[in-house]
Chain A
Amino acid sequence: MDLVKYSVRRFGYMIVTLWFIITVTFFLMHLLPGSPLRNEEKLPPQIKEQILKEYGLKDPLHVQYFRYMGGLLKGDLGTSMTFDGKKITDMVMEGFPASAQLGLQAIILGCLIGLILGVISGLRRGSWVDNITTVIAVLGVSVPSFVIAAVLSYSLGLKLGWFPVALWGTFSHTVLPTLALTFIVIAQIARYTRTEMVEVLEQDYIKTAKAKGLARNKILSKHALRNALIPAVTILGPMTVNLMTGSMVVELIFAIPGMGKLFVDCINNKDLTLIMGTTTFYSAFLLFAIFIVDILYGLIDPRIRVAQSGKE
Chain B
Amino acid sequence: MKETMKLTPDMFQPAEIDDSAKNAIARPSIGFWKDVWRRFYRNVGAMVGLVLLSIILVLTFVGPSMGKTDYQAQNLSVQDQEPTFQNMISGDDYRFGTDNLGRDLWTRVWYGTKVSLMIALLAAILEIVFGVTIGVISGYFGGMVDNILQRVIEVLYGIPNLIVVILFLIIFDPGIVPIALALALTNWLPTARIVRAQVLKLKSQEYVLAARTLGSGHIRTMTKHLLPNIVSIVIIAVMFAIPSAIFYEAFLSFIGLGLRPPEASLGVIINDGAQNLQIFPHELLIPSVIIGIMMLSFNLIGDGLRDALDPRMRK
Contact = CB atoms under 8 A, between A and B. Distances in A.
Asked if chains A and B are in direct contact (CB within 8 A), the reply is yes
Interface of A: 13-14, 16-17, 20-21, 24-25, 28, 32, 138-139, 141-144, 146-147, 150-151, 153-154, 158, 165, 194-195, 198, 241, 244-245, 248-249, 252-253, 263-264, 267-268, 270, 275, 279, 282-283, 286-287
Nearest to A264: B255
B148 interface: no
A11 B288 CA distance: 41
B163 A282 contact: yes
A142 B295 contact: yes
Contacts of B270: 146-147
A196 to B, nearest CB: 10
A279 B159 contact: no
A183 B274 CA distance: 20
Interface of B is mostly: helix
A279 B300 contact: no
Nearest to B296: A142
Interface string B246-277: 01001100111100000000000010001001
Given A13-B158, A20-B159, A138-B299, A252 B292 contact: no
Contact of A150 (B159, B161, B247, B274): B274
Interface of A is mostly: helix
Nearest to B289: A147
B284 interface: yes
Contact of A21 (B163, B243, B274): B163
B160 A146 contact: no
A147 B162 CA distance: 19
A267 B250 contact: no
Contacts of A282: 160, 162-163
A150 B278 contact: no
Nearest to B302: A141
B219 interface: no
Contacts of A21: 159, 163
A84 to B, nearest CB: 22
Interface stretch (B2-10, B100-108, B164-172): B164-172
Given A17-B159, A150-B285, A195-B315, A144 B278 contact: no
A262 B125 CA distance: 34
Interface centre among A17, A139, A141, A287 (most CB of B within 10 A): A141
A214 to B, nearest CB: 27
B311 interface: no
Given A144-B295, A245-B251, A279-B167, A138 B159 contact: no
A283 B163 contact: yes
The 9 closest A-B pairs by CB, nearest first: A17-B158, A142-B296, A147-B288, A142-B295, A268-B256, A264-B255, A143-B292, A286-B160, A154-B281
B37 to A, nearest CB: 22
B315 A279 contact: no
A250 to B, nearest CB: 11
A195 B300 CA distance: 17
A85 to B, nearest CB: 22
Contact of B255 (A139, A195, A198, A248): A248
B170 A150 contact: no
A142 B295 CA distance: 5
B308 interface: no
A138 B255 contact: no
A154 B158 CA distance: 38
